[in-house]
Amino acid sequence: MILAAFRHLSILSIGGVAGILFPSLMFAAEFGYRLGRRIASRKSEKSTDLAASATLTTGMIGLLAFTLSLSINFAQDRFEARRDLVLAEANAISTAWLRANLIDGAESAVIAAEIEEYARVALAYTTAESNADIPGLVERMGALQAGIWRSMGMIARHASNPVTIALASALNDMFDLFTSQRFAYQSHVPTNIVLMLYLEALATIGALGYQLGLGGDRHIVLTTLLLMMWSGGMILIMDLNQPRIGSIRADASPLIWTIRGFGGPAQMH
């Protein structure tokens, strides 16, 4: 249940995650501090407890930093995969369109126009700002693929030559890259890892607050800065992890350039 709720929250809003993350870390720090103050008030010797808690807290911070860096790399790899696939898909569409224009007869204009529409739908898919828009775009793309392949079949029946074979190969690559793009957009950092990172952060910040409580000084400015840094790193992961609602998104410029190369406006349907 906790995992399902966390997954739902993570895909709902980056701002919602930030609104929960930082206050919860502040609460963990305050809880740890007050617990440390209570323990310290019951003991006369503090040096041993401070040394032990410092060692343990340092280890926890190191482990948290390591987990955070792995998670960021994980999310960045997925972002780079989406970005690279936009370029590859744009190149494949451009290649298919150029080869379509080498075909003799009226079929050339028909299939070229279908490829142009395909590119516009691919652009709309890449730039969609809501997951709710995706099913309609995928359905539209499937219909276009079927129509383009029917046109390809008619061309192949009328003239089977190296040009039509090259066009069929380019279309196949174009279709395959959209499938790869769909997979890349649906592939995220596993929610289990993000949840584990969050729980580790709560435990580590709580331990840090406990150590400060044993020492009797909150160091409120430095503690707040540290919590802001940890929160920022975790929010960065969530942002990279959500290509539709995050602010860090794959650049659609290659598709826009390709559509402009057709001689028409880069409209997003």
pLDDT tens digits, the chain, 269 residues: what are they?
555 555 555 555 666 777 788 899 999 999 999 998 888 887 766 556 677 788 888 888 898 888 888 888 888 898 999 999 999 999 999 999 999 998 887 888 899 999 999 999 999 999 888 788 889 999 999 999 999 999 998 888 887 788 899 999 999 999 999 999 999 988 888 878 888 888 999 999 999 998 888 888 888 888 889 889 888 888 888 888 888 777 788 889 999 999 999 875 545 44
Domain-located, residue 29: yes
Domain that holds residue 110: 78-187+251-261
Cα–Cα dist 115/108, whole Å: 11
Domain-located, residue 267: no
Tell me: do 182 and 220 sit in the same domain: no
Domain-located, residue 119: yes
Q: How many other CB atoms sit within 10 Å of the CB of residue 88?
A: 17
pLDDT of 158 reads 80
pLDDT of 230 reads 86
Cα–Cα dist 112/99, whole Å: 9
The two structure tokens encoding residue 221: 């400015």
Tell me: do 104 and 16 sit in the same domain: no
Tell me: do 95 and 177 sit in the same domain: yes
Domain-located, residue 47: yes
Tell me: do 167 and 194 sit in the same domain: no
Cα–Cα dist 211/219, whole Å: 11
Domain-located, residue 179: yes
The secondary structure of residue 244, as a DSSP letter, is T
194, 233, 215, 231: which is closest to 27 by C-alpha? 231
Tell me: do 142 and 256 sit in the same domain: yes
138, 97, 135: which is closest to 116 by C-alpha? 97
Domain-located, residue 219: yes
Tell me: do 91 and 219 sit in the same domain: no
Tell me: do 145 and 91 sit in the same domain: yes
Contact between residue 201 and residue 27 where contact means Cβ atoms under 8 Å apart: no
Tell me: do 136 and 256 sit in the same domain: yes
pLDDT of 45 reads 60
Tell me: do 134 and 228 sit in the same domain: no
Tell me: do 98 and 147 sit in the same domain: yes
CATH of the domain at 132: 1.20.120
Domain-located, residue 70: no
164, 129, 163, 121: which is closest to 145 by C-alpha? 121
The number of distinct structural domains making up the chain is: 2
Q: Which amino acid is at 84?
A: D
69 Cα distance to chain centroid: 16
Tell me: do 127 and 220 sit in the same domain: no
Contact between residue 85 and residue 181 where contact means Cβ atoms under 8 Å apart: yes
Tell me: do 151 and 257 sit in the same domain: yes
